[in-house]
């Protein structure tokens, strides 16, 4: 993906082009109606009630078109894609050519000849507004309705840990993969990638790179435990030493699975032990809170302890057990003391159970639950053998790589 400067330029350029074209579209029918009375008022034939009714019709149609255009085209972008959205660009070109053709006809047949039939001029403006409304209906079909019918099943696999999901999709363009299945309609590759990313942050559990360090540490420990002795004296035969170490590692490979088994069993035992201590500590803390709340009901309103103070009062009794559990499961960098206190105060305010409080820490949540500011600004690179504006097809593979 391009750098932030290029993304900003493309974003504002597209918004500027759309705004200028939209302004031209809405001012054109008004100009068609106002120019004849301004340029040759005395020569116009009287129109009367018919024109007044047409004026009201044009006003309400333009209002409907304005609201529909704002809802469809001027929504906040969820992400910046690397290529232009083809259907949106085609619609903008169609609208531009359509308005230009109306202006050419208006200039040749009305302005040059100074047409005196004002009712016909107003009806000409009404026909333009009607045609613009039909183009807006076409835009809804191409940009929104066309994507609703599922056409493909997309498997998203996260390369780091193999977690997978499936999504049903339609004809889209591609922009990302991990491991799940999605249902999509008619989309391009880059649009499909955007859909996958939106679901990735809410469906995939947070990726914890610290969980992979154990296997790396185990491999390093194996190599560090190997020593080579040369009975013939010191030499610089590095190749021979490397071969000897590889051969020794191969001989120890048969017993490495036992070591892995006992390491995982020991880790699970420690996690269960820390978890049990944490559950007991939290339950005792909440029992203490219930006692305090029962005592608070007998006090004056000004002396009642607020949830924040109550959370600070009971947190030390569970802090050590929670800290040890988070370190054992390598989650300590996801939960600061302030966030834990806020969550505890929230649970106290809403009379939640100890199990509800612990759910956040005992099981990994979706990606969007952690570090919201970071993942909102994340950039992804889309890698595809085909143009990202092409539609989806069977057997197509594309990759999304996080740049942060």
What single-letter DSSP state applies at residue 305?
P
Mean pLDDT of 334-347: 88
d(CA 125, CA 357): 63
CB distance 191 to 400 below 8 Å: no
Neighbours of 326 (CB within 10 A): 18
If you count them, how many residues does the chain have?
404
**CA distance readout (Å), 183 to 8, 40, 204:** 31, 60, 16
pLDDT of residue 140: 83
For the chain, percent of residues with pLDDT exceeding 70 = 72
Q: At 2, is the pLDDT very low, low, confident or very high (cuts 50, 70, 90)?
A: very low
181 pLDDT above the threshold of 50: no
pLDDT of residue 60: 92
First to last CA, the chain: 12
CB distance 396 to 188 below 8 Å: no
d(CA 397, CA 69): 35
Structure pTM?
0.56
Which range, of 132-146, 162-176, 229-243, 338-352, averages the lowest pLDDT? 229-243
Boundaries of every domain in the chain: 4-143, 152-208+379-402, 219-266
Full DSSP string of 351-402: T--HHHHHHHHHS--BGGGS-HHHHHT--EEEEESS-TTSBP-TT--EEEEE
Full DSSP string of 50-79: HHHHHHHHHHHHHHHHHHHHHHHHSSPPS-
pLDDT of residue 173: 37
Q: Which of 202, 198, 204, 208 is nearest to 165 (CA)?
A: 204
pLDDT of residue 171: 42
pLDDT of residue 112: 81
d(CA 311, CA 357): 12
77 pLDDT above the threshold of 60: yes
d(CA 48, CA 61): 20
Q: At 3, is the pLDDT very low, low, confident or very high (cuts 50, 70, 90)?
A: very low
pLDDT of residue 148: 59
Which range among 3-12, 17-26, 205-214, 344-353 has the greatest average pLDDT? Answer: 344-353
Backbone angles phi, psi at 225, to 5 degrees: -80, -5
pLDDT of residue 69: 83
d(CA 152, CA 105): 45
For CA atoms 38, 43, 46, 51, the dihedral sign is negative
Full DSSP string of 200-264: HHHHSBPP-GGGGHHHHHHHHHHHHT-----TT-----HHHHHHHHHHHHHHHHHHHHHHHHHHH
pLDDT of residue 276: 92
Q: Return the structure tokens found at 251.
A: 């001989």
pLDDT of residue 178: 37
Mean pLDDT (the chain, rounded): 76
pLDDT digits (tens, 9 = 90+) for 360-399: 888 877 777 776 666 665 778 888 888 877 777 777 888 8
Q: At 339, is the pLDDT very low, low, confident or very high (cuts 50, 70, 90)?
A: confident
357 pLDDT above the threshold of 80: yes
pLDDT digits (tens, 9 = 90+) for 24-72: 888 888 888 888 888 877 777 777 788 888 889 889 998 998 888 887 7
Dihedral class, residue 211 (left if φ above 0, else alpha if ψ from -120 to 50, else beta):
alpha
pLDDT digits (tens, 9 = 90+) for 274-310: 999 999 999 998 888 888 777 767 666 655 677 888 8
**CA distance readout (Å), 150 to 153, 154, 399:** 8, 11, 21
Q: Return the structure tokens found at 291.
A: 């006692």
80 pLDDT above the threshold of 70: no
Which range, of 71-85, 134-148, 361-375, averages the lowest pLDDT? 71-85
């Amino acid at each position: 993906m391009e750098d932030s400067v290029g993304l900003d330029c493309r974003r504002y350029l597209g918004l500027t082009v759309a705004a200028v074209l939209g302004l031209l579209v809405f001012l054109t029918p008004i100009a068609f109606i106002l120019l004849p009375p301004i340029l040759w008022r005395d020569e116009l034939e009287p129109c009367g009630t018919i024109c007044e009714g047409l004026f009201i019709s044009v006003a309400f149609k333009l209002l409907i078109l304005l609201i529909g255009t704002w809802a469809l085209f001027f929504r906040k972008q969820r992400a910046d894609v690397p290529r232009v959205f083809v259907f949106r660009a085609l619609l903008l070109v169609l609208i531009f050519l359509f308005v230009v053709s109306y202006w050419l006809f208006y200039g040749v047949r009305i302005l040059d000849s100074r047409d005196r039939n004002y009712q016909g001029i107003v009806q000409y403006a009404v026909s333009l507004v009607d045609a613009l409304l039909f183009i807006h209906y076409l835009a809804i079909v191409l940009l929104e309705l066309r994507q609703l019918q599922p056409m493909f099943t997309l498997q998203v696999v996260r390369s780091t840990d193999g977690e997978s999901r499936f999504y049903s999709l339609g004809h889209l363009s591609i922009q990302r993969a991990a491991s799940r299945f999605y249902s999509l309609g008619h989309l391009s590759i880059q649009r499909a990638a955007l859909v996958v990313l939106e679901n990735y942050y809410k469906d995939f559990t947070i990726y914890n790179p610290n969980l992979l360090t154990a296997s790396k540490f185990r491999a390093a420990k194996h190599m560090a435990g190997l020593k080579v002795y040369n009975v013939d004296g010191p030499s610089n035969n590095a190749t021979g030493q490397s071969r000897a170490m590889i051969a020794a590692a191969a001989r120890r490979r048969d017993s490495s699975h036992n070591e892995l088994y006992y390491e995982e069993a020991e880790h699970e035992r420690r996690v269960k032990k820390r978890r049990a201590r944490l559950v007991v500590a939290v339950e005792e803390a909440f029992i203490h809170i219930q006692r305090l709340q029962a005592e608070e009901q007998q006090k004056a309103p000004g002396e009642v302890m607020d949830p924040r103070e109550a959370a600070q009062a009971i947190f030390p009794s569970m802090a050590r057990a929670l800290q040890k559990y988070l370190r054992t499961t390598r989650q300590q960098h996801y939960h600061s003391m302030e966030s834990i206190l806020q969550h505890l105060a929230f649970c106290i305010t809403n009379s939640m159970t100890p199990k509800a409080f612990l759910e956040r820490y005992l099981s990994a949540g979706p990606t969007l639950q952690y570090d919201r500011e970071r993942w909102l600004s994340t950039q992804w690179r889309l890698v595809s053998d085909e143009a990202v504006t092409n539609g989806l097809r069977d057997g197509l593979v594309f990759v999304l790589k996080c740049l942060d």
